[in-house]
Amino acid sequence: MSLSLCSEFDDRCQRDLKESLKKTVQTVYEGIAIRGQKTFLNQIYTELYILEGGSGEVNQEHEVRQIETASRKQGTTIKLEEIFKPGRDQPIRTVMTMGVAGIGKTLLTQKFTLDWAEGRTNQNIQFIFPFTFRELNVLKEEKFSLVELIHERFTKTKGISSFENFHVLFIFDGLDESRLPLDFKKNPVLTDPSKSSSLDVLLTNLITGKLLPSALLWITTRPAAASLIPDEVLTPCCTINLSWGSNGRGQSAKAVDNEFCCK
């Protein structure tokens, strides 16, 4: 197949994925989920701002900026579409969003995905693959390559045999619901996206950047489960404050510099 035909095929796969994701995330249940009562996400979404604290007060051991300190300082306001482009010298590879149940972590990722699927923002990202840990739990006893896992969940991409040359974002929603061991210390190194392994090995290597280091990652969790991913895996990282519009509901997120994450 010629390069031009390959490109046309990839573009078609991207369009098909966008249409599929748009159908999935454009409507949500508002309030108590009652069968058949859905509303459009764009009608209820309140614009999110990320307030990033100054860099003056940093934990030198882990370089984690404390949320309590950051929230008291005037910082940089970043809109949702800029969550992977906060203006640092080095690009962001991984964002971990933390917040209590019901604060809107899932809604946040859905809005980001919808805006991308509708062609409004972040068109430099060629493919977005949203997973929930709840659905990954069902597959925890099976073996997949990264490519096979993508094809299993996103059938519109089955014609693509490699994602190494694409700008890809993986979303893993609900780390607090994970039933995977996530054994970062004992799991073997995996660098080949076409090689089958346990789901746990696949995920730990994807998170550490050994597998598909060019990929972006977005992980959401309740604060108590954030320790499932050790600090040293996401070091150095900073903590930034997220709030919904002006109503003051806060979240926090860890943004990890690509320069360090892929070492």
pLDDT one-digit tens code per residue, 160-169 = 999 999 999 9
Segments making up each domain of the chain, as ranges? 3-261
CATH number of 3-261: 3.40.50.300
pLDDT one-digit tens code per residue, 148-163 = 999 999 999 999 999 9
pLDDT one-digit tens code per residue, 213-250 = 999 999 988 888 988 998 777 754 544 444 444 444 45
Name the CA dihedral angle for 80, 86, 92, 96, rounded to a multiple of 10 degrees: -50
Q: Which of 73-82, 109-118, 212-221, 226-235 shows the lowest per-residue confidence on average (mean pLDDT)?
A: 73-82
Contacts for 59 with CB less than 8 Å, ≥ 6 apart: 65, 66
Exposure string over 16-43, b if 16+ CB within 10 A, otherwise e: ebbeebeeebbebeeeeeeeeeeeebee
The pLDDT score that the predictor gives to residue 31 is 56
